Chains A and B, each alone.
Chain A
């Protein structure tokens, strides 16, 4: 079973600052990793796939990096609408996909 660990659990950031979220995987998933954003009461929305490719319509302040077992989502300058929970997801073992536990980005 592929285990995904996100850190920190909660990240307090001021608007306009940079946010860096981490996702660590128990075994290599190559570049087969996605990031999703979820706001309260809403479904998750795909932000990043293939570790670093932005999904359609996603602002360029969102960027992803990493490969193998260590991945990072960076939000370069936080906007008010970016405060949400972020999940990483591996699809290297497709169709048996796995999610991380999430990182909540809150206003400092």
Chain B
């Protein structure tokens, strides 16, 4: 069974940093690219970032470019999202999602990030 488990969310002050993790199991992790997608409270889905199978290719939404960094450790079946310079607009549930065929996604359950003073 495909499982993606996010962790690392919490409450952080504006300007602060958080590092999200996504632990994968039930599939050959190194063969799949991964996305992060977020959802602000009561709002829709917003794509955040992408990383290829090897980590060589990375992409970011304009709203997070220069502040967020995606990475992965294939030896540990994990993906990470380092988030710096957080603002209230970054408050959301963050999902990691396995890309199984050029854009179709299997999702984790998400982790909540709240940016508040």
Q: CB-defined interface of B23-59 with A at 8 Å, one 1/0 digit per residue?
A: 0000000000101010000001111001010000101
How far is it, in angstroms, between the C-alpha of A89 and the C-alpha of B99 when the chains are bound?
Answer: 13
Check if B103 sits within 8 Å of A97, measured CB to CB.
yes
B interface, over-half SS: strand
Known: A43-B108, A43-B109, A95-B33. A34 touches B45 (CB 8 A): no
> Which of B33, B47, B52, B104 sits near A46, CB closer than 8 Å?
B104
Contact A101 B103 (CB under 8 A): no
* A46 near B105: Cβ-Cβ < 8 Å: yes
User: Is A32 interfacial (CB-CB < 8 Å)?
Assistant: yes
Complex contact B44–A102 (CB within 8 A): yes
> Chain A at the B interface: mostly helix, strand, loop or mixed?
loop
Q: A43-B95, A91-B102, A95-B35 are in contact. Are A101 and B44 (CB under 8 A)?
A: yes
- Please determine whether B103 and A44 come into contact, CB atoms closer than 8 angstroms: no
Asked if B47 and A98 sit within 8 Å, CB to CB, the answer is: yes
